[in-house]
Structure 1
């Protein structure tokens, strides 16, 4: 029974939020992606989710870190969709060491940087994130 209640929590919360937005007059026509700066909190949590997803899917022995946010666009839907372009780099920390922050970047022959463009769907007020699309190329 607890599992069933758990599975309805997010959709129910989204429905309640949507109804409140309509009643309070905050519902606007979706206008596609716009160049709007992310709040520092949303940027940090969205980029943290992105790099965790990237590292989990990567076959690389080493962890990567975001080096620079190049571009950020957002679109309001049932949540917030962020289209971000970031530069990431290979660190000296290996996967499975438990360290994922403050790792020094590789500087020798193992140095590698990528430019990644990702579409991330988020419902920030319930701390929900999903990586919808990602493509990376050597920089």
Structure 2
């Protein structure tokens, strides 16, 4: 009986997923540790992948959305700026660089797909330069 019920639920889930039904994004709670982790992960990955010599950080969260998709997809619209800390430095308290030519604060979008129960996360979009 349980197997039949599970098969029915899976069939309904697959039918809804393949029907093209719109997915629903909701506002993410920035005090939620999973949301904070996703944003920190995205910024860390951005800093690893960027070719610049300065570490960037979020100066403002403009919006944070989440959507359940075999995990959670977080969409962050943030303002990012370069700090006074160079990549590879051991500094932890990096403030926005006082030189606006270096700081170059810009609005960008970061999308992270996460399955925290499996310890998996991936940045699927990063529009920050």
Q: How does the TM-score come out when normalised to structure 2? A: 0.75
Q: Which residue, out of 60, 70, 83, partners 2:75?
A: 83
Query: Partner residue of 2:90?
Result: 98
- Gaps of at least 5 residues in structure 2 are 1-5
Larger radius of gyration: 2
> Do the aligned partners of residues 136 and 73 (structure 1) sit closer, same or farther apart at CA in structure 2, a change above 3 Å counting?
same
Distance 1:72 1:92 in 2: 26
> Do the aligned partners of residues 98 and 33 (structure 1) sit closer, same or farther apart at CA in structure 2, a change above 3 Å counting?
farther
* Shift of residue 74, structure 1, vs aligned partner: 1.2
* Shift of residue 57, structure 1, vs aligned partner: 0.9
Q: How does the TM-score come out when normalised to structure 1? A: 0.70
* Shift of residue 36, structure 1, vs aligned partner: 2.2
Distance 2:73 2:65 in 1: 8
Q: Which residue, out of 21, 27, 35, partners 1:36?
A: 27
- Gaps of at least 5 residues in structure 1 are 1-18
Distance 1:89 1:112 in 2: 6
How do 1:33-72 residues align onto structure 2 when only pairs under 5 Å count?
Answer: 33-38=24-29, 39-72=31-64
User: Residues 89-131 of structure 1, C-alpha deviation per residue, up to 9 Å, x if partnerless?
Assistant: 11000001133x4212111232211211122100022221101
Structure 1 stretches of 4+ moved >4 Å: none
RMSD, aligned CA: 2.3
